[in-house]
Amino acid sequence: MKPVGARCSPTPATVPTVSGGMSAWRFVLTFGVVSLLMDFVYEGARSITGPLLAHLGASAAVVGVVTGAGEAAALGLRLASGPLADRSRRFWSWTIAGYVLTALTVPVLGLTSVLWVACALVVAERVGKAVRSPAKDTLLSHATAATGRGRGFAVHEAMDQVGALLGPLTVAAVLAVTGDDYAPALGVLALPGLAAIALLAWLRARVPDPVAYEIPAGNPASDVAVAKPVRATLPRAFWVYAAFTAATLAGFATFGVLSYHLVARHLMPTATVPLLYAAAMAADALAALATGWLYDRFGGHVLVALPILSAAVPALAFTSTVWICVVGVLVWGAAVGVQESTLRATVADLVPAGRRATAYGIFAGIMGAASLAGGAVTGALYEVSVPVLVTTVGAVQAAALVLLWATRSPTESRS
């Protein structure tokens, strides 16, 4: 086990293939294309969630609660989907089902004119992420054992963000052409969704059992350990790491609140908000690649960047100066990049394969509760006082830094 804060070992130069003849890197890259297409879908929708809900009559507090609840659903429900995926070992089925739910939900969101229906659809789209993520991350974790945890997850995340860049740009273009009509702007996202499902089905047929990347053929003891979920408790290092992550996210603003500020204060027209979100996703990709490489080289020390970035977001993004707000949103994107790549790589290193989907589910559940708190607190404090919001977030992130420092105490081996 590579403990949080420890330097990681170099990745072997030899990358194995599986029965379908696909190398680990090709598997990661193909899965990256799937994620690119699906990010095209749901990040395109998320880029206008704040303005869409505001258009239907939502206040900043409602936007904060709904977007926070969406993230809580995306993360908290993994408490169930992770263990279920481990028990059933049907990782591909869970992955495909989650992607299908998202692909169906997003186009419908643009057709509703009722606030509560829109709120329900926003949360439902995030439920799709909850269904697929522990299983998907487990599939990827097997391949990244061969490519290098940090690099493998970072490249996958960077490809995610290509889609997260294209989706908002497409939505912005359609909004501009149609005069802010949300129906065609979200309806066009059905096309990449269908393409993603088709590619995912093909990948499953080619690589039905990606565990072969991590567990060499002819190793019966290892094969049995992965074939059956491990009943041992999760390592203490995992729980300490999860507590640090929760503290960080409890003071992290959602993009829904950030975009609400930009539109409500008349700092940016609605059609421009997706462009800014696209720029944030580009920052996400760059931060993921940088921290992924640094993680493989230096280990969990790189995580110190997350509380620092998170504390800077409200101090910059909730000002009344456009260019400073833009910088704040880019910093927000960089923080998300660290969350989506290096945090996942660390979990894979802390937990054995037989319990990994469960660990991803529990970790996400903790993150979900923290995200709900972060969305609700930042949305509510925004309506009270921006300086109070900035001070509160700064204090929470300072506490997270202290907790991260505490993880440098003696570590435990894997259970």
| Contact by Cβ (8 Å): 247, 370 | yes
- Mean pLDDT computed over every residue of the chain: 82
From its phi and psi, is residue 217 left (phi > 0), alpha (psi between -120 and 50) or beta? beta
CA distances from 180 to 52, 67, 118, 186, 273 (A): 10, 21, 16, 11, 12
Class for the domain spanning 24-406? mainly alpha
Spell out a b/e string for 207-232, using b for 16 or more CB atoms within 10 Å of the CB, else e.
bebbbbbbbeeeeeebeebbeebbee
- C-alpha dihedral sign at 303, 75, 29, 92: positive
CA angle 399, 260, 285 (to 5 degrees): 65
pLDDT digits (tens, 9 = 90+) for 365-377: 787 778 777 777 8
Segment of 77-81, 93-97, 257-261, 276-280 carrying the highest mean pLDDT: 93-97
Q: Considering the entire predicted model, what is its pTM?
A: 0.69
On the 0-12 / 13-18 / 19+ scale of CB atoms within 10 A, 327 is middle
The per-residue pLDDT for 323 is: 92
Q: Is 345's pLDDT higher than 70?
A: yes
The per-residue pLDDT for 306 is: 87
pLDDT digits (tens, 9 = 90+) for 193-228: 999 999 999 999 999 888 888 865 444 444 444 445
227 vs 129, higher pLDDT: 129
119 vs 251, higher pLDDT: 119
The per-residue pLDDT for 297 is: 82
pLDDT digits (tens, 9 = 90+) for 149-174: 888 888 888 888 788 788 888 988 89
Q: Is 232's pLDDT higher than 70?
A: no
The per-residue pLDDT for 294 is: 86
| Contact by Cβ (8 Å): 311, 398 | yes
Confidence label for 409 from pLDDT (cuts 50, 70 and 90)? very low
pLDDT digits (tens, 9 = 90+) for 1-37: 344 544 444 444 455 555 457 888 999 999 999 999 9
What is the rounded distance in angstroms from the CA atom of residue 111 to the CA atom of residue 107?
7
73 vs 313, higher pLDDT: 313
Residues in contact with 328: Cβ distance below 8 Å, sequence separation at least 6, in sequence order: 258, 312, 313, 314, 315, 316, 317, 318, 319
